[in-house]
Amino acid sequence: MSGLRVFIIDDHADFRRLLAHHVTARWPDAVVQQYDPVISGRLPQAFPGADSDVVLLGHPVAHGDALDWLRQLRRTPRFPPIVFLGSGEERQIVAAIKAGAVDYVTKATLSHPRLVEAIGQALAVGGRPDDTSQARSAEPLPQALPRVPGYEVVSTLSEGAVASVYLARDRASGRMAVLKVLRQVPDSGGETHFDRFLQEYELIARVDHPNVVKIFDLGIADDHAYIVMEHCSRGSLKRRIASGMGGEEALALMRVIAGALGALHAAGICHRDLKPTNVMFRGDDSLVLIDFGLAKQAQFRAGITGTGAIFGTPYYMSPEQGEGNAVDQRSDIYSLGIVFYEMLTGRKPYDGQTAMAVIMQHRDAPRPQLPAALAGFQSGLDRMLAKKPAERFQSVGELLAWQPDEVRAAVAVSAERP
């Protein structure tokens, strides 16, 4: 069984060698091909991808714009997933994702973990999952990862201080799954993280909803706790936002997310970390709400997370969560409002140099205004993003009953007709 196959395109030989070193350090059996655009020129229009699992495309190529190459390559049917490596300039990042790159890595800040993460993401959402899952199944388990009975690690999706997430394969069925492994264990001072990790499973297991991630297994192996959950192969909402979407699509997706939140709230659960990267899509394009590591039963004002502690992502945090106060379902509705605004406009409403600067804007800055073409959504957005919880939609049910202004106007006109 062959190893991982990576095709590297970049003008600079030293950088190509650096990338190859990172790849083979993580995947010793990988087959790496290097392509020099300066010497060999542009790839042919019908270039099929050299039977690769992943293509690493560096900017510039042949001293030109690699985005042109990216657009050309993505037009080829069944072309392997492409990781774009560029300058880090925001417009280039957005353009690369819109053109079809599965991930973007900034050359100047390239690190081994970041490149491994990007390749893992490419493998997880790649265009040839049947071939790549077989090719990668032979790679050795990372030394720090315990062997989980019945599962074989395929690639690293992310690594954190508390837990790491891997793409894995069920040895019996061949089904791909996501494996989340807790690094800290109870007898090494990790009781708080251990309890929160197990709580994540218990909370999700209580919710049976088509848009809430499914859990396959939970256990302890080699003194590490782990959760096995379904693999969502079509990437996150973040990538779809970068590609752009219309108002009706944004509204439809917002309503599906709201329905999933409603199922959580009915079980007494607040998500507390709703953001585009925690909204995934299955292979059939159905939406899935994931990552309940920060979830907390709504009726508890204090518990294993500690009173007054701030958890979550500042860009999507409600004013009360940013100040470390108790939160309830209305905080999730606020976070959904931020995500809705980002889906509609392609940008976050509040930004700043530090996390605290963003938190202060959630508390003090005016509610964001939509452009004229999207003004019909403003009334609902204003209710979702009210600074005071009492002024927001009080439940997901209230939110789902809301209709954009133009829809209400059309209904009223229809009712007046004889």
pLDDT reading at 223 higher than 60? yes
| Domain map (residue ranges) of the chain | 5-128, 141-230, 237-410
Name the pLDDT band for 77 (thresholds 50, 70, 90). Answer: confident
H-assigned helices in 27-105: 37-40, 66-74, 90-99
Instruction: Please tell me the predicted confidence (pLDDT) of residue 276.
Output: 93
As a whole number, mean pLDDT of residues 189-205 equals 63
Residue 70 identity (one-letter amino acid): L
Instruction: Please tell me the predicted confidence (pLDDT) of residue 108.
Output: 86
Q: What is the CATH number of domain 237-410?
A: 1.10.510.10
Half-sphere exposure for 13 (CA within 13 Å, toward CB):
3
R_g (Cα) of the chain, nearest Å: 23
295 or 122: which leads in pLDDT = 122
What does the alpha-carbon distance between residue 19 and residue 57 come to, in Å, rounded to a whole number? 11
Instruction: Please tell me the predicted confidence (pLDDT) of residue 307.
Output: 36
As a whole number, mean pLDDT of residues 330-348 equals 97
Cβ(136)–Cβ(2) under 8 Å? no
The DSSP 8-state label assigned to residue 268 in this structure reads T
Cβ(205)–Cβ(212) under 8 Å? no
Handedness of CA 355, 360, 362, 368 (dihedral sign): negative
Q: What is the CATH number of domain 141-230?
A: 3.30.200.20
What does the alpha-carbon distance between residue 75 and residue 46 come to, in Å, rounded to a whole number? 9
pLDDT digits (tens, 9 = 90+) for 123-137: 876 543 333 333 333
What does the alpha-carbon distance between residue 231 and residue 97 come to, in Å, rounded to a whole number? 21
Which of 11, 53, 103, 273 is flagged as catalytic?
A: 273
pLDDT reading at 189 higher than 90? no
- Angle, CA of 202, 208 and 214, to the nearest 5°: 70
Name the pLDDT band for 291 (thresholds 50, 70, 90). Answer: confident
Cβ(203)–Cβ(295) under 8 Å? yes
Instruction: Please tell me the predicted confidence (pLDDT) of residue 341.
Output: 98
Active site residue 273: yes
Instruction: Please tell me the predicted confidence (pLDDT) of residue 272.
Output: 87
pLDDT reading at 144 higher than 60? no
| Range in 200-214, 308-322, 371-385, 401-415 the model is least confident about | 401-415
pLDDT digits (tens, 9 = 90+) for 85-104: 998 887 888 888 888 888 89
Mean residue pLDDT across the chain: 81
What does the alpha-carbon distance between residue 387 and residue 364 come to, in Å, rounded to a whole number? 8
Superfamily of domain 5-128: Response regulator (3.40.50.2300)
